[in-house]
Amino acid sequence: MERLIIIGPGRVGLALGAALAEADAVASLAYWGRAPEPPDHPLFSDGVATYRYGVELPPPGTTAVLLTVPDAMLAEIAEVLAARGTPPDGTPVFHCSGALGADPLGALHARGYQVGTLHPLQAIANPHTGAGRLQGASFAISGEPGALAAARRIVAELSGRAITVPTARRPLYHAAAVLASNYLVVLLKTAAQLFEEAGASPEEAEAALTALARGTLENATALGLDRSLTGPVSRGDLEVVGLHLRTLSPDDRELYTALGRRALEMARDRLDPGVADHMSDLLRNR
């Protein structure tokens, strides 16, 4: 059973603590924060977790400390925690940033903590519902041996998948996550605006396109990414692609062609070479 301290009771910190509590993985769960009172969350109202204003030295028996604060604050919080003294038994401490390695935790490493990173590869938009998304999720981990062992244990308690990402490649990993999650929302918003221009209401556009995207994700899960690609580029429909390009605004056309060129790379092997070349010219010359 884990005895955890989470510094930073925001979306990720609350969702992660709640997920572990729901998995019966915690013997104790404490949050430390910069506000005098805890946020409004069942973890506190139901007595599952305690809250402390400020930062103290972790007590003996602490199995891990998680820093779930904004990236820009990591080094500052690490220095504050390090100033509290030497941790018991080389306590593992993680930050949950996707893009950064363990460098911001340098002060803690020097003090004797086992430092590492533990980033959930999941979109946590709401601290109340995010716990469910973390069950079975993938987590990118890195760090010193003691930290890695604790990270793997925590991920296993969530029935998740631990993926070791070397520090030097964290930016690539995080860029991949941004493309698959954050920019998916941007694409859907752009598509919804086009749908509204075509005559749908905002509610109709959002409902229809999120359902379409959900079906695409289900296909990708069942068939794999390469086999789930559909649409006019993948079938070599030059007339339809040309019609799209003539209809779109310059900004939307730029986005469409950039993605279309990537789609063509995926589909080229299934197209007639002449058609593929014409499609490439069409998507490049706009």
Between the CA atoms of 194, 196, 200 and 203, what dihedral angle is there, to the nearest 10 degrees? 110
What six digits make up the tokens of 206? 């959002």
For the residues of 122-177, what is the DSSP string, one character each? S----TTTHHHHHTT-EEEEEE-HHHHHHHHHHHHHTT-EEEE--GGGHHHHHHHH
> Whole-angstrom Cα distance, residue 276 to residue 274?
5
Q: How sure is the predictor about 285, in pLDDT bands with cuts at 50, 70 and 90? A: low
pLDDT in tens, 222-272: 999 999 999 999 999 999 999 999 999 999 999 999 999 999 999 999 999
Per-residue pLDDT reduced to its tens digit, 96-135:
999 898 899 999 999 999 999 999 999 898 888 889 999 9
3-state secondary structure 230-262: CCCCCCCCHHHHHHHHHHCCHHHHHHHHHHHHH
Torsion angle (degrees, nearest 10) of CA 246, 248, 251, 252: -120
What is the tens place of the pLDDT at every residue in 13-53?
A: 999 999 999 999 999 999 999 999 999 999 999 999 999 99
Query: Rounded to whole angstroms, how far apart are CA atoms 78 and 72?
Result: 11
